[in-house]
């Protein structure tokens, strides 16, 4: 937290009072209020404690308040991991601020720990001085022993450097709900809402949204709905009355560029991008998919929008998912398949077929930790080389990678543009962090969105009045897309090598050589935006370049370095195949190129191979995003090395 402004003893509004104005009927605040410019909160508990829901609600409150924000949900693959254990801990981190921020934050200012496991698992991430709120009811001997605490950390002095709030959350929740008539077990489950209420008080979040959310969510169980609302309010009131919480904090709304905003996660933005691509191309959307974490939410979301003509097909396996999408594409739909790394492996042969058939197809890979099943719920960006090369034969596929959750929207449109214009499968590489993380999104005007022109073949394309399915557009090298039902254009295509032009089966050596080179040239020639370099005064000697979800932490690190007087240039790749035409020049303009990736150096390998540049990797594969401070150190080290070499001269 920086630039704290004490507003001690200033009476301010209650729960519905953004901007410090009391909401009508809201209780008056009687405690000191401190203004801060940003806060990082982490909710942690058992995977059955509802931490993701709690985090989502706090995020929604924060978004509607107008802060900039970034989130990091982090949960185990097991739906209900053994209770009270370290592997069962689920957490949700939220960073919100009165200014533009880029990451969910390195170190929480506040940790809410619902049990000893949550405390133990998250304590190493806390800086000294952080606030810790624990549910003391859960700190039983048995629970402590389960996670290997020999002594109670709440009493042994080990938390001395922190600001510890010992709150009997369970007891207080039960107390608040004793009139509700709910069974103890049901009442206990509302303790996450008590915690949310308390945090909502601490940070002046609007509360109406959560109340109406709870009433809608539990519409069929009004007693549960009211109990949750009651627990939520009790949490708020507890903050206001108990002496343990001496101050509350205010984070004013952020000054974002003008526009209408909403909060959006990567998977939601991607789903909307696909629908937008369908609308802007006039191609009906067909999704063939098999459930897989962390991609399933796109299947769920698109299934809700059948009134947009969206067809979703839950296939028998990954192969059928992409097969059906390709079949739909042959029939003139915008064919899409969504999956994660293991699914891409299964789909490889069909992607190769799509390369050979030269039909538009979107393959969305929400990357997760690998290899094999790996870390299903954790993030990684180690599928780049699979996307690039993971097929038999020379099978080039364009690759698009969004950098932020909101950017998933544009990425879907960009992938669709390339697929349709160039008649090719396109890989869209998102990841678990983008998929589940969220941020404010300036909602675009529909008219601003690009139009995608399918340009279906309508008649013969040779002087003799024949139709040749592989007669290409000389500019784009795209072949005609002739859909069944078009008279006179009946044709057969397949995975066997085809004669240039006619598309008839051909085993001719020279023809195969030509076709392999032509397919490559088509992908190489795809028009993509030049890469932009952020180098404010043009004096940097170090360039840091990344792709995908590392954008946030890299940019935050660059800001830190610059704030401390360091000079560093930054560039971020959205198109990974083909690379932007100016990339070689950009790389060649700096003495040192640093490539941070959540893999073992896959982009760095490509850059070194293609541009003969001594790109230096910085890698982490922990299933979690980089921290800004960590990358800032890397950048300082790179700058320092250059300084050192200057000294030698």
Partner 1 sequence: MSEFRSLSLVPKADALQSAKDFKTDQEVRWCPGCGDYAILAAVQSFMPELGIRRENTVFVSGIGCSSRFPYYMNTYGVHSIHGRAPAIATGLAATRRDLSVWVVTGDGDALSIGGNHLIHALRRNVNLKILLFNNRIYGLTKGQYSPTSEVGKITKSTPMGSLDAPFNPVSLALGAEATFVARTLDSDRKHLTSVLRAAAEHQGTALVEIYQNCNIFNDGAFDALKDPAGADRALIRLEHGQPITFADQGVFRDPASGELTVAQVTETNQADVLVHDAHAASPVTAFALSRLADNDTLHHTPIGVLRSVERPVYDTLMADQLATAVEQHGAGELADLLSGKDTWTVV
Give me the DSSP letters along 381-392.
Answer: ---HHHHHH-SS
Site for partner 1 in 156-215 (CB under 8 A): 209
Smallest gap from residue 19 Cβ to partner 1 (A): 12
Instruction: Please say which residue, 222 or 495, places its beta carbon nearer to partner 1.
Output: 495
Site for partner 1 in 558-617 (CB under 8 A): none
Read off the DSSP letter of residue 67: -
Task: Show the tokens assigned to 440.
Answer: 């404010």
319 binds partner 1 (CB under 8 A): yes
Tell the burial category of 489 from Cβ atoms under 10 Å away from its Cβ (0-12, 13-18, 19+): buried
Task: Show the tokens assigned to 439.
Answer: 């941020």
Q: Which stretch binds partner 1 (CB under 8 A): 83-91, 346-354, 366-374, 614-622?
A: 346-354
Angle at 15 between CA 13 and CA 19, to 5 degrees: 50
Instruction: Please say which residue, 361 or 429, places its beta carbon nearer to partner 1.
Output: 361
Of positions 178, 255, 300, 622, contacts partner 1 by CB under 8 A: 255
| φ, ψ for residue 5, nearest 5 deg | -120, 115
Smallest gap from residue 65 Cβ to partner 1 (A): 8
Smallest gap from residue 230 Cβ to partner 1 (A): 23
Tell me the sheet residues that pair with 89. Answer: 46
Task: Show the tokens assigned to 357.
Answer: 């058939």
- Separation between Cα atoms, residue 166 and residue 113, nearest integer Å: 10
Considering only CA atoms, which of 46, 131, 41 is closest in space to residue 88? 46
Site for partner 1 in 57-86 (CB under 8 A): 60, 63-66
Of positions 9, 160, 243, 316, contacts partner 1 by CB under 8 A: 316
| φ, ψ for residue 249, nearest 5 deg | -120, 145
205-234 footprint of partner 1 as x/- string (CB under 8 A): ----x-------------------------
Site for partner 1 in 488-507 (CB under 8 A): 488-496, 504-505
465 binds partner 1 (CB under 8 A): no
Of positions 70, 109, 192, 333, contacts partner 1 by CB under 8 A: 333
Of positions 104, 235, 288, 553, contacts partner 1 by CB under 8 A: 288
Give me the DSSP letters along 314-372.
Answer: E-SSHHHHHHHHHHHHHTTSEEEEEE-HHHHHHHHHHHHHHHHHT--EEEEEEE-B-ST
276 binds partner 1 (CB under 8 A): yes
Smallest gap from residue 329 Cβ to partner 1 (A): 8
Q: Length of the chain, please?
A: 649
Tell me the sheet residues that pair with 19. Answer: none
261 binds partner 1 (CB under 8 A): yes
Instruction: Please say which residue, 208 or 622, places its beta carbon nearer to partner 1.
Output: 208
326 binds partner 1 (CB under 8 A): yes
Of positions 121, 195, 224, 315, contacts partner 1 by CB under 8 A: 315
3-class SS of residue 615: coil
Alpha-carbon separation of residue 374 from 344, 441, 578 (angstroms): 14, 31, 29
Smallest gap from residue 296 Cβ to partner 1 (A): 19
320 binds partner 1 (CB under 8 A): yes
- Separation between Cα atoms, residue 67 and residue 69, nearest integer Å: 6
443 binds partner 1 (CB under 8 A): yes
Of positions 260, 465, 509, 564, contacts partner 1 by CB under 8 A: 260
3-class SS of residue 304: coil
Of positions 99, 306, 517, 610, contacts partner 1 by CB under 8 A: 306
Instruction: Please say which residue, 64 or 237, places its beta carbon nearer to partner 1.
Output: 64
Smallest gap from residue 640 Cβ to partner 1 (A): 40
């Amino acid at each position: 937290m920086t630039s704290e402004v004490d507003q001690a003893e200033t009476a301010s509004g209650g729960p519905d009072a953004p901007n410090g104005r009391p909401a009508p009927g809201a209780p008056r605040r009687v405690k000191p209020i401190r203004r801060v410019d940003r806060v990082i909160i982490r909710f942690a508990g058992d995977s059955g404690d509802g931490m993701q829901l709690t985090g989502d609600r706090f995020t929604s409150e924060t978004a509607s308040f107008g802060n900039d924000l970034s989130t990091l949900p982090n949960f185990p693959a097991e739906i209900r991991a053994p209770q009270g254990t370290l592997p069962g801990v689920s957490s949700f981190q939220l960073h919100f601020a009165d200014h533009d921020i880029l990451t969910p934050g390195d170190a929480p200012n506040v940790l809410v720990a619902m049990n000893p496991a949550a405390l133990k698992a998250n304590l190493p991430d806390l800086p000294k001085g952080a606030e810790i709120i624990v549910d003391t009811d859960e700190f039983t001997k048995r629970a402590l022993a389960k996670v290997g605490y020999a002594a109670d950390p709440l009493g042994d002095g080990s938390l001395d450097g922190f600001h510890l709030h010992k709150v009997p959350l369970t007891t207080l929740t039960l107390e608040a709900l004793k009139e509700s008539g709910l069974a103890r077990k049901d009442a206990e489950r509302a303790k996450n809402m008590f915690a949310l209420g308390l945090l909502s008080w601490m940070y002046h979040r609007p509360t109406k949204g959560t109340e109406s959310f709870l009433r809608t969510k539990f519409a069929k169980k009004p007693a549960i709905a009211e109990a949750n609302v009651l627990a939520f309010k009790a949490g708020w009131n507890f903050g206001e009355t108990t002496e343990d919480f001496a101050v509350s904090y205010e984070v004013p709304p952020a000054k974002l560029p003008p526009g209408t905003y909403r909060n959006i996660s990567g998977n939601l933005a991607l789903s909307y991008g696909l629908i937008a691509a369908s609308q802007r191309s006039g191609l009906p959307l067909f999704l063939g998919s098999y459930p897989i974490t962390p991609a399933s939410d796109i299947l769920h979301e698109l299934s809700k929008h059948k009134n947009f003509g969206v067809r979703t097909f839950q296939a028998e396996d990954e192969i059928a998912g992409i097969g059906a999408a390709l079949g739909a594409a042959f029939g003139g739909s915008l064919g899409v398949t969504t999956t994660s790394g293991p699914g891409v492996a299964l789909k490889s042969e069909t992607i190769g077929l799509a390369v050979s058939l030269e039909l538009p197809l979107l393959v969305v890979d929400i990357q997760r930790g690998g290899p094999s099943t790996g870390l299903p719920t954790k993030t990684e960006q180690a599928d780049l080389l699979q996307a690039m090369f993971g097929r038999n034969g020379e099978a080039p596929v364009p690759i698009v990678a969004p950098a932020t959750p909101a950017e998933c929207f544009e990425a879907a449109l960009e992938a669709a543009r390339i697929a349709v214009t160039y008649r090719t499968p396109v890989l869209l590489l998102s990841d678990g962090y983008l998929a589940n993380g969220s941020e404010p999104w300036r909602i675009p005007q529909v008219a601003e969105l690009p139009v995608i022109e399918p340009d279906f073949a309508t008649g013969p394309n040779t002087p003799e009045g024949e139709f040749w399915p592989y007669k290409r557009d000389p500019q784009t090298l795209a072949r005609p897309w002739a859909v069944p039902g078009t008279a006179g254009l009946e044709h057969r295509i397949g995975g066997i090598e085809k004669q240039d032009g006619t598309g008839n089966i051909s085993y001719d050596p020279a023809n195969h050589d030509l076709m392999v080179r032509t397919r490559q040239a088509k992908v190489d020639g795809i028009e993509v935006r030049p890469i932009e370099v952020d180098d404010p005064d043009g004096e940097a000697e170090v360039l840091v370049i990344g792709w995908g979800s590392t954008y946030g932490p890299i940019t935050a690190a660059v800001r830190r370095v610059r704030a401390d007087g360091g000079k560093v240039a930054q560039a971020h790749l959205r198109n990974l195949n083909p690379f932007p035409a100016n990339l070689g020049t950009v790389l060649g303009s700096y003495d040192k190129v640093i490539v941070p990736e959540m893999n073992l150096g896959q982009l760095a390998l490509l850059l070194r191979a293609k541009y003969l540049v001594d790109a230096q990797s910085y890698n982490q594969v922990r299933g979690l995003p980089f921290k800004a401070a960590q990358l800032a150190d890397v950048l300082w080290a790179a700058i320092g090395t250059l300084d050192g070499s200057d000294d030698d001269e």
